[in-house]
Amino acid sequence: MKMSYEKSTDILNKSCESLKATGAEKTACDLTHSMTHELNVDGGEISLLRTIFDTELTLTVIKDAKKGTMTTNRTDEDAVNETVRETYDIALSSEKDPAYDISEKNTLRREAAGDGPDADRMYERLKEFVTDVKATYPSVILEQAILDYKVLTRHYKNSNEADLYHERGFYQFTVMFSAKKGEKSSSFNFADVTMNDLSHHLLEAGGVKRLIGEAPRLIDTRPFPGKCIGEIVMTPECLLDFIMFLSSHLSDRAMITGTSFLKDALGEEVASPLVTLKSLPLDPSMAGGYAITQDGFPAENLTLIEKGVLKSYLLSQYGAAKCKRERAANNGRFYLLEPGRDSLESMIRSVKKGLLLTRFSGGNPGENGDFSGVAKNSFLIENGEIKNGLSETMISGNVKELFRNIKAVSAEVSDSGHSRLPWALTDQITISGK
């Protein structure tokens, strides 16, 4: 059962009253309830059905410019009162910071959970997927696959009379797989998509079919020949990883500490003019998008980079106050990178020696943006043609330069439900094999 608006209002009103009684100047109550119906495939067989209910009540107290936050998953009166007391004690134990604040008065009520889950339909879709993968790709092993339907309700209230409610329901599908022939095996790969409904075969969602279809070609791999400064064509999945690295430099921690390589770049060119990057949590086609920011403001869609120029950071209310900059309209994710005019085929044809980089397995880039890691599930490109799959091949470069050096963006996009991204060609990447 999903939590009703009336039930969450009742819990929040009682919590707010209890917080008010502490005498704190500013208080906030944030309640999230989730209901998950989840089917699991392990070792190629449907093996587990889970039904999970969870609740998270987060209370915030600001007293004498000191802040405390506590989260519990119990909402009975005794638990709420105990959590209020502890939150107040945490605030008193903290230290003054005038940047602590809560969101302004706002109201929002958005309900879009739909009727799911349809347990029988979920089983049928997953069974169809398992059966068809076995028939079409006999060398592919489905290590794990999870299809779930989640209903999330979030209700936020604070002492400034903010009252925001958002209910959403969506399907998520994650599959991890490899291909095996004799004693030889490909590296594992995975695909994840979110969906508003189950109207399509799971193989047709996002990049699922493309990525599973590539696995058998990655059983026999060779290291990249030698070492060079080369070009890479990033798949949408790989591009998302680098967008996440970039966005971390737009966010609170890197900005507050001043270690972001983009700290003074607002209005400056930070990427190729071919790059327009948006965060669209309210786009109806982005399944599972959020309508309330983490700090209790109504979320808005946001353009982060327009034709290469940085238009916004991803600062919270607190981060904005610390950095003396504008609060961002949302918390990021649900990214769209505007498609370009080149076809993927022409992009690959233009590469003399480089990689089709499907997955980057690497450490988090250093604070200066330097990264290095392994090119996984990737292919050699030589003289404009995709050749053999690669193993034991490393790449290194710099995240900032990677976006500056983008030379082409594909017209084709992959829509995973939580992002819509094209392929992108960049250069000046160190590629080393054997």
Q: Restricting to residues 226-245, which ones interact with other proteins according to CB under 8 A? A: 227
**Interaction residues for other proteins, span 252-311 (CB under 8 A):** 252-253, 256-259, 261
Q: Closest distance between other proteins and the C-beta of residue 293, in Å?
A: 17
* C-alpha triplet 76, 81, 83: angle, nearest 5°: 95
Nearest to 429 by CA among 390, 372, 383: 372
How many Å is the maximal CA-CA distance in the chain? 72
Q: In the block, which residue shows the tokens 């106050």?
A: 321
Among 7, 26, 121, 180, indicate the residue that binds other proteins (CB under 8 A).
180
Q: Compare residues 6 and 120 and give the one whose CB is closer to other proteins.
A: 120
Residue with Cβ nearer other proteins (265 or 411): 265
Q: Residues touching other proteins: how many (CB under 8 A)?
A: 80
Among 45, 128, 268, 385, binds other proteins (CB under 8 A): 45
Q: How far is the CB of 141 from other proteins (least distance, A)?
A: 4
For the beta carbon of residue 78, count every other beta carbon within 10 angstroms. Answer: 8
| Of 14, 99, 323, 411, the one binding other proteins by CB under 8 A | 99
The smaller minimum CB distance to other proteins, of residues 221 and 235, is found at: 221
Q: How many CB atoms lie within 10 A of CB 25?
A: 11
- Sign of the dihedral defined by the CA atoms of residues 238, 236, 390, 190, in that order: positive
Q: Give the shortest CB-221-to-other proteins separation in angstroms.
A: 9
- The single residue among 81, 90, 415, 427 that binds other proteins, judged by CB under 8 A, is 90
Task: Determine the Cα–Cα distance for residues 79 and 31; give it in Å rounded to an integer.
Answer: 14
From residue 382 to residue 401, the character string flagging contacts with other proteins as x (rule: CB under 8 A) and all else as - is ---------xx-xxx-----
Task: Kindly state whether residue 77 participates in binding other proteins, applying the rule CB under 8 A.
Answer: no
Residue from 178, 331, 378, 405 that binds other proteins (CB under 8 A)?
Answer: 178
Please give the residues from 100 up to 129 whose contact with other proteins meets the rule CB under 8 A: 119, 123, 127
Q: How far apart are CA 408 and CA 57, in angstroms?
A: 46
Least spacing, CB of residue 254 vs other proteins, in Å: 9
**CA–CA gap between residue 251 and residue 311 (Å, rounded):** 14
Instruction: Classify strands 353-357 and 227-234 as parallel, antiparallel or unpaired.
Output: parallel
Q: 134 in helix, strand or coil?
A: helix
> Which 194-213 residues touch other proteins, going by CB under 8 A?
none
Question: Are 66 and 95 spatial neighbours (Cβ–Cβ below 8 Å)?
Answer: yes
Residue 125, classed as helix, strand or coil, is helix
Given a contact cutoff of 8 angstroms between Cβ atoms, the answer to whether 100 and 66 are in contact is yes
Positions 405 through 434 that interact with other proteins (CB under 8 A):
430, 432, 434
Q: Which of 41, 38, 35 is nearest to 56 (CA)?
A: 35
Min dist CB 409 to other proteins, Å, is 27
> In the structure encoding, which two tokens stand for residue 98, read together?
């005038």
Q: CB 344 → other proteins: shortest distance, Å?
A: 26
Near other proteins in 306-365, by CB under 8 A? 318, 322, 361-364
Instruction: Tally helices (H) and strands (E) across the chain.
Output: 9, 22
Q: Is 139 helix (H, G, I), strand (E, B) or coil?
A: coil
- Among residues 24, 28, 29, 68, the one that binds other proteins under rule CB under 8 A: 68
165: tokens are 């409610």
Smaller CB distance to other proteins: residue 180 or 407?
Answer: 180
Shortest distance (Å) from residue 215 CB to other proteins? 10
Looking at the Cβ atoms of 391 and 410, the one nearer to other proteins is 391
